[in-house]
């Protein structure tokens, strides 16, 4: 029994490492991922690595095909529209639940951590730490969803965040600054509206924020060819 628990824990570790590597844009859309590379780097067994892959395949972040192996997803324009529509539904519902909690407890103390999160985003943006800024922006949405205390909303949003990053990696218009894509200033205004229990404003700001992410995309762009990495998780 202890061995099985360890196996499950390690497979989760594999999936989380790949997940976070997508959030920092270290892993690109269409990249082929080899079990042997991960095994050499982390020392895990093939069965553990496959379990980690299986989870990411099940949520659409990785794609498996018999002749091509395991690759990172390459969302299409239609996928992008569907993903952001789903995010709108989930994140608007999240806002209602959080404001309900604030009203019931007569306190907005739960939002303190969100302000700390935004300060981290701003620091990374100002110092041009693109990878850290991207992950911090993603963490904002994941952290905010966790404040809803609804695990089903959280688990539904979790795969949509790395897919959003993959969409940006393919279609983002480089003429737009990374600061305009998932802006931390937008995040600040959303949290202030929640703190003021202004549901209509909070929802409007969130919708505008998510729509802005899509408006900065250029769907005429094509996926660049990727080269399989001999290492994935460590810096060169």
Q: Give percent above pLDDT 90 in the chain.
A: 67
Confidence (pTM)? 0.86
- Please state, in angstroms and rounded to a whole number, the distance separating the CA atoms of residues 156 and 145: 10
Q: Where are the domains of the chain?
A: 2-72, 77-215
For residues 77-105, average pLDDT: 96
Res. 179 pLDDT band, cuts 50 70 90: very low
Give the pLDDT confidence score for residue 12 in this predicted structure.
92
Res. 159 pLDDT band, cuts 50 70 90: very high
Around 53, how many Cα atoms within 13 Å sit in the side-chain half-sphere?
21
| CATH (residue range 77-215) | 1.20.120.530
Lowest mean pLDDT among 66-70, 80-84, 133-137, 194-198: 66-70
Res. 6 pLDDT band, cuts 50 70 90: low
Res. 66 pLDDT band, cuts 50 70 90: confident
Burial of 151 (0-12, 13-18, 19+ CB in 10 A): exposed
DSSP secondary structure, the chain, as one string: -HHHHHHHHHHHHHHHHHHHHHHTT-SPTT-B--HHHHHHHH---HHHHHHHHHHHHHTTSEEEETTTEEEE----HHHHHHHHHHHHHHHHHHHHHHHHHHHHHT--GGGHHHHHHHHHHHHHHHTT-HHHHHHHHHHHHHHHHHTTT-HHHHHHHTTHHHHHHHHHHHHB-TTS-GGGTT-HHHHHHHHHHHHTT-HHHHHHHHHHHHHHHHHTB-TT--PPP----S-SSS--
Give the pLDDT confidence score for residue 231 in this predicted structure.
56
CATH architecture of 2-72: Orthogonal Bundle (1.10)
pLDDT in tens, 105-131: 999 999 999 999 999 999 999 998 988
Q: Give percent above pLDDT 70 in the chain.
A: 88
- Please state, in angstroms and rounded to a whole number, the distance separating the CA atoms of residues 96 and 92: 7
Burial of 184 (0-12, 13-18, 19+ CB in 10 A): buried
pLDDT in tens, 206-232: 999 999 988 889 888 877 666 555 555
Give the pLDDT confidence score for residue 180 in this predicted structure.
53
């Amino acid at each position: 029994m202890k061995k099985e628990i360890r196996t499950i824990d390690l497979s989760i570790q594999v999936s989380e490492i790949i997940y976070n590597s997508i959030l920092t844009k270290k892993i690109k859309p269409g990249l082929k991922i080899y079990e042997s590379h991960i095994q050499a780097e982390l020392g895990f067994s093939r069965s553990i690595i496959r379990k980690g892959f299986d989870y990411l395949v099940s949520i659409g972040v990785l794609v498996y095909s018999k002749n091509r192996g395991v690759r990172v997803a390459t969302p299409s324009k239609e996928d992008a529209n569907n993903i952001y529509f789903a995010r709108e539904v989930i994140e608007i519902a999240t806002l209602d639940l959080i404001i309900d909690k604030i009203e019931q407890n007569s306190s907005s103390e739960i939002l303190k951590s969100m302000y700390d999160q935004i300060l981290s985003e701003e620091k990374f943006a100002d110092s041009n730490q693109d990878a850290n800024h991207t992950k911090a922006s993603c963490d904002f949405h994941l952290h905010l969803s966790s404040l809803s205390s609804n695990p089903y909303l959280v688990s539904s949003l979790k795969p949509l965040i790395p897919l959003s990053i993959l969409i940006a990696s393919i279609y983002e218009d480089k003429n737009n600054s990374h600061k305009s894509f998932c802006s931390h200033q937008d995040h600040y205004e959303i949290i202030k509206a929640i703190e003021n229990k202004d549901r209509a404003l909070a929802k409007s700001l969130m919708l505008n924020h998510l729509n802005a992410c899509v408006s900065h995309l250029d769907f005429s762009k094509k996926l660049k060819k990727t080269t399989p990495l001999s290492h994935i998780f460590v810096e060169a």
